[in-house]
Amino acid sequence: MTHLPSSTRHEPPPNKPPRFRSMPDTTKPTPQGTTRAAHYAAWILACTTFPLIWMGGLVTTYAAGMAVPDWPSTYGYNLFLYPLESWLQVWDVFLEHGHRLLGSVVGIATIVLAILLWRRDTRPTMWWVAGIALAGVCLQGVLGGLRVVGSKIFDTEIAWMPAPVFLTIAAAALVFLVQAIPPGAAGRRKLGFWIRAAIVSGLFAALAWFGIAAVEDRLFLAKVHGCTAPAFFALAAGTVVATSPRWVESSQPTETPFATRLQCLTTLAAGAIYLQIILGANLRHIAPNAAPWWFTLWIWLHVIVACGIVLLILWLFVTARRHTPNEPLLRRRISLLAGLFAFQLLLGVTTWVTNYGWPLWFTENILAVEYTVVAESLWQALSTTAHVGVGSLCLATATSAALWSQRLLKFPSASPPPRADKYRNTPTGQSKRNRRQ
Amino acid sequence: MPDAIRTIQRAFLVCLALAFPGCKSANESPSFRINLEGRHPAEVSQTQRDAINQTMEEFFGTPDKPRLPEGTGLDLDRIMMAAGPVAGNADGTQQGLFRQHCATCHGISGDGAGALATTFNPYPRDFRRGTFKYTTTRADAKPLRSDLQRTLLRGIPGTGMPSFSELPTGQLEALVEYVVYLSLRGETEQYLIQLVLDEGEYLPLGTDAKEMILEDATLWVAEQWADVEQNPNEYIVPVPPRPVYASDAQFAESVARGKRLYSSKDAQCVQCHGPDGAGDGEDDEIYDDWNKPKKGVTPEQTAKLSRLYTLPIQKLRARDFREGAFRGGSNPEDLYRRVHIGIKGTPMPAAGPQPGAKGVFTPQDIWDVVNYVLSLSGED
């Protein structure tokens, strides 16, 4: 039984010349020197995105999103030329303008990372990652801007404002296409190129349409803005993993019958945490004129999904402890995820108590507490924002664990899985999963 | 790795698909909700709704652009500061304070039916009745603006009502003024609805009808608010200094006397608060004025009535004095006022002397009862 390398889909057979211009030879692992810069850039991106999420969380906590009414300028000034004393004078302006400045740092870090990945990384998947990261950061910036400017964007005076951003997206898409297409006029005429071009153009057109269609509803934009940030952070964390020297070196996965379970559980955990983030965004950006049962619905869903994640992480933790003794890297990430989620639960309770007080059943039946909520207190702001920040960190950790479980573990080709599996044996005697690999 | 990325991409798309339905419920420019509490929607025709909404907008504007009829005496600048969407300026001045701090619980219209309302017990206050629980003014009077401001500053312990002690005074004053505006608007709307629906006023409303509404409802209610501010001594319930007890024995005597008064048939404290002040009185079916109309004789009738209201019926819980903390303030002076004035809009009656009525307790009696209540939690 022959096992093909995991990157078969993107690599030419050994006897054929390389198909892509910038992909000299992908059959060998990428030399360390070529990805190290990208790895550092990915780290810088992740390390700047995390405080940006905190800053964004503080902006929402203090309702400072509208402290600067224009965009991309700040009170008529260029973003980078707004006077320092005016910036530091008012807390809300400090938060909102600081959020924008930090956002531009993240934008620059993303551009640097994208260039490094496109030029130095030989894996086509990473070119896609670079393209998605660049599109993501542009989308996030536009969403943040539209959330502030809203329908005013169509006023003739500032109608040009989003144009540079959309042009950047279009330019990035073009660069991405040029990098990805085969060289030569004949290659460019190939149907595949046009299909790809149509898909990418359609995607950006859809994004632009989505932005315009949703622009009237700032609260909706705020929710999408709040949900895109953790996804982007997870992408940055994933890039850190995929560009790490260890990832490149780990070409021989460990065979274990629990590989599929661990891979599914880590991926499910990441998905469930993201779902939880979306529910949290709906709680945080609840419309002031929403019907009374909306909040109750979201909060119950938030609690139910939290319970589901606890069970999922416990199962994952126990499985990893028992069945992956030789994979300390993966075990560390799963342990970190468990620890972070436990902290996140504590932060969730603290956030509830500091915002809405103790529940009545608690004060009636368990402990007599006469506690007064203090609006905009330090504890309220810190716990609420930390709940947002640690939620994103949980997602990034789960993503990292999911990627490592895919990379480091493999279902054994000869032995049967631990329980009945409908895909176990195919007519060729090869498991479906192994054939995919 | 591509497998993992693809799986995560799928999960991401599923999550997005789950998140988007219902997200567009938010409205950028919310409007005031017509007060049809307790009425079957079919009772009110679209023409009647339009006439009511149009008149109310003519008088009071919209949540984004509030307006005031002449002669109400309210401060429009402060109202403007609290109204509208949340926004800030380079100099740190804030706008949209009500939407930032209050609307998610109290609702855009001040109807106490905001998005978070069902989470709390008791429900957030419905300002439209013009009744406020914790005041320093006598039972039949409107509160002072300082009473509302005190509630904002202190919060209400044990409930979702936060303390806004971190906000500057200017913002607190703006919020108080906006609450008064919503209350004035709410009471005018009640009168207008009664006129249109119950008395069958001819539609569309003419100038005479509008003037009548303005005179009989808006300006009349505004005058009550203004009168309390202009003649506070006439309305504020004085709190005599707490007696000084020379010895523990004297204090114990006052506590014993307080217990006798508390248990007396006239006072009826035991009925709700129980013989030991544990909040376990015989009468456990107590409702405030906002929930009482939802109560029917039979459970079926209650369920039927409740459906006519935005929020389901909610019972009140009598205070357990052993906890030692009180929603209207835990100082002896606060407790004196609660016994004397009662808690407006609830079954907690005014036990002190009122204009034209002797009251159940004398000021001395009230202090004895306060001493007894404080002794239950080990305080003095």
Neighbouring C-alpha atoms within 13 Å toward the C-beta of A129: 29
Residue at A4 is within a domain: no
Question: Would A20 be classed as within a structural domain?
Answer: no
Whether A25 is covered by a domain: the verdict is: no
**Cβ-based neighbour number of residue A419 at 10 Å:** 8
Of A9, A151, A370, the CB nearest to B157: A370
Asked whether the beta carbons of residue B116 and residue A63 sit closer than 8 angstroms, the reply is no
Same-domain pairing of A357 and A222: no
**Closest partner CB to B4 (pick from A89, A93, A403):** A403
Alpha-carbon gap: B189 to the closest alpha carbon of chain A (Å): 19
Of A58, A66, A57, nearest to B88 (Cα)?
A66
Within-domain flag for A14: no
Record: contact A375-B325, CB cut-off 8 A: no
Quote the tokens at residue A77.
Answer: 């000034």
Label each residue of A14-53 as H, E or C.
CCCCCCCCCCCCCCCCCCHHHHHHHHHHHHHHHHHHHHHH
Q: Are residues A57 and A175 in the same domain?
A: yes
Q: Give residues 145 to 164 of B whose Cβ lies within 8 Å of A.
A: 154-164
**What residue in A sits closest to B100 (Cα-Cα)?**
A63
Q: Are A413 and A433 in contact (CB under 8 A)?
A: no
- Quote the DSSP letter at residue A71: S
With a cut of 90, say whether residue A292 has pLDDT above it. Answer: no
Residues of B in contact with A60 (CB under 8 A): none
Say how far apart CA A111 and CA A162 lie, in whole Å: 18
Residue A339 structural domain = 252-437
C-alpha span between A178 and A346 (Å, rounded): 49
- Between A24 and A128, the more confident residue is A128
| Backbone φ, ψ for residue B379 (5° rounding) | -105, 160
Tell whether A281 and A215 lie within a shared domain.
Answer: no
pLDDT of residue A158: 45
- What is the distance between the alpha carbons of residues B291 and B125, in angstroms, rounded to a whole number? 11
Last residue of a domain, one of A191, A220, A249: A249
* Nearest-angstrom CA–CA distance, B95 and B83: 7
State pTM to two decimals.
0.82
Average pLDDT (A81-103) is: 94
Does the pLDDT at position A13 exceed 80?
Answer: no
Contacts of A285 in chain B (CB under 8 A): 26
CB contact under 8 A, B8 and A271: yes
- 3-state SS assignment for residue A414: coil
Nearest CB among A6, A227, A281 relative to B1 is that of A6
Answer yes or no: is pLDDT of B229 > 60. Answer: yes
**Which of A270, A356, A364 lies nearest to residue B119, judging by beta carbons?**
A356
pLDDT in tens, A64-79: 988 998 888 899 999 9
Top pLDDT among B25 and B220 is at B220
Contact A373 B26 (CB under 8 A): no
Mutate to test the interface with A, among B7, B108, B171, B314 (most CBs of A within 10 A): B7
Within this chain, do residues A41 and A67 fall inside the same structural domain, yes or no?
yes
Distance CA A172, CA A177 (A): 9
Among A211, A227, A249, the domain-final residue is: A249
Which residue among A68, A275, A369 sits closest to B15, beta carbon to beta carbon? A275
- Of A215, A249, A283, the residue that ends a domain is A249
The pLDDT of residue B317: 87
Q: Is the domain of A188 the same as that of A302?
A: no
- Interface A-B, measured as beta-carbon pairs within 8 A, has a size of 200
Give yes or no: residues A108 and A256 share one domain.
no
Residues A37, A179: one domain?
yes
Query: Considering CB atoms only, which of B11, B156, B161 is closest to A270?
Result: B11
How many residues in chain A?
Answer: 437
| Beta carbons of B2 and A10 less than 8 Å apart | yes
- Taking 90 as the threshold, does the pLDDT of residue A263 lie above it? yes
- In this structure, of A41-45, A245-249, A391-395, B148-152, the range with the lowest mean pLDDT score is A245-249
Residue A377 inside a domain? The answer is yes
Which residues does chain B have within 8 Å of residue A218's beta carbon, measured at their own beta carbons? 28
CB contact under 8 A, B158 and A370: yes
Asked if residue A263 is part of any domain, the answer here is yes
B262 forms beta bridges with none
Contacts of B16 (CB under 8 A, 6+ apart): A227, A278
Instruction: Point out which residues pair with B94 in neighbouring strands.
Output: B88
B13 touches chain A (CB under 8 A): no
Residue B320 touches chain A, beta carbons under 8 Å:
yes
**Quick one: pLDDT at residue B358?**
82
Overall number of domains in chain A: 2
Q: Which of residues 20-79 of B touch A (CB under 8 A)?
A: 23-28, 30, 33
ipTM of the complex: 0.85
Does the CB of B99 have a partner CB in chain A at under 8 Å? yes
Residue of B nearest to A377 (CA): B166
Report whether B74 contacts B181 (CB < 8 A): yes
B218 CA: distance to closest CA in chain A (Å): 25
A273 in the same domain as A347: yes
* Cβ burial B309-324 (10 Å sphere, 16+ → b, else e): bbbebbebebbbbebe
Give Cβ neighbours of residue B258 (< 8 Å, ≥ 6 apart). Answer: B368, B369, B370, B371, B372, B373, B375
Closest-CA distance, B322 to chain A, in angstroms, reads 9
- The pLDDT assigned to B80 comes to 96
* pLDDT tens profile B35-76: 999 999 888 899 999 999 999 999 999 999 999 999 999 999
Domains of chain B with bracketed CATH: 41-235 (no CATH), 248-281+318-376 (1.10.760.10)
CA distance B357 to chain A (A): 35
Question: Rg (Cα) of chain B, in Å, rounded?
Answer: 24
Contact A222, A147 (CB under 8 A): yes
Q: Is B281 left (phi over 0), alpha (psi -120 to 50) or beta?
A: beta
Q: Report residue A24: phi and psi, to 5°.
A: -60, -50
Over range B285-314, report the average pLDDT.
93
DSSP 3-state assignment of B61?
strand
* Contact assessment for residue B147 and residue B136, using Cβ atoms and an 8 Å cutoff: yes
Looking at the structure, tell me whether residues A225 and A260 fall in a common domain: no
Nearest residue to A293 via CA among B25, B37, B113: B113
Q: How confident is the model at residue B230 (pLDDT cuts 50, 70, 90)?
A: very high
Task: Report the C-alpha gap between B82 and B161 in whole angstroms.
Answer: 18
Q: Give the Cα separation of B352 and B342 in Å (integer).
A: 8
* Chain A contact present for B116, CB below 8 A: yes
Does A160 have pLDDT greater than 50?
A: no
Q: Which residues 6+ apart lie within 8 Å of A104 measured at CB? A: A79, A80
Does the residue A370 lie in any domain? Answer: yes
Torsions phi, psi for A83 (to 5 deg): -55, 135
Specify the CATH number for the domain of residue A360: 1.20.810
Tokens of residue B316, six digits = 């009140």
Task: Specify whether A370 is located in the same domain as A421.
Answer: yes
Minimum-distance CB partner of B88 among A64, A279, A299: A64
Is B15 within 8 Å of A6 when comparing Cβ atoms?
Answer: no
How large is the average pLDDT for residues A224-235? 95
Residue A148 shares a structural domain with residue A287: no
- Confidence band, pLDDT 50/70/90 cuts, at residue A424: very low
Q: How confident is the model at residue A216 (pLDDT cuts 50, 70, 90)?
A: low
pLDDT above 50 for A29: no
Task: Mark residue B153 as left, alpha or beta (left: phi above 0; alpha: psi -120 to 50; beta: remaining).
Answer: alpha
- Calculate mean pLDDT across residues B96-102: 94
Answer for the pair B235, B228: CB distance below 8 angstroms, yes or no: yes
- Angstrom distances, CA of residue A123 to CA of A91, A129, A182, A286, A326: 45, 10, 15, 42, 28
Minimal C-alpha gap between B47 and chain A (Å) = 24
Task: Give domain status of residue A2, yes or no.
Answer: no
Question: Each residue of B341-368: pLDDT tens digit?
Answer: 999 999 999 999 888 778 889 999 999 9
**A291: chain B residues, CB-CB within 8 Å:** 115
From B320's Cα to the closest Cα of chain A, the distance in A is: 10
How distant is the Cα of B100 from the closest Cα of chain A, in angstroms?
7
User: What is the 3 state secondary structure string of B347-372?
Assistant: CCCCCCCECCECCCCCHHHHHHHHHH
User: Do residue A66 and residue A197 come from a single domain?
Assistant: yes
**B112 secondary structure, DSSP code:** S
Which residues in chain B are contacts of A367 at CB distance < 8 A? none
User: pLDDT: is A166 or A346 the higher one?
Assistant: A346
The predicted-structure confidence for A329-371, as pLDDT tens digits, reads as follows 999 999 999 999 999 999 999 999 999 998 878 877 777 678 8
Given a cut of 60, whether residue B8 has pLDDT beyond it is no
What pLDDT sits at residue A221?
A: 85
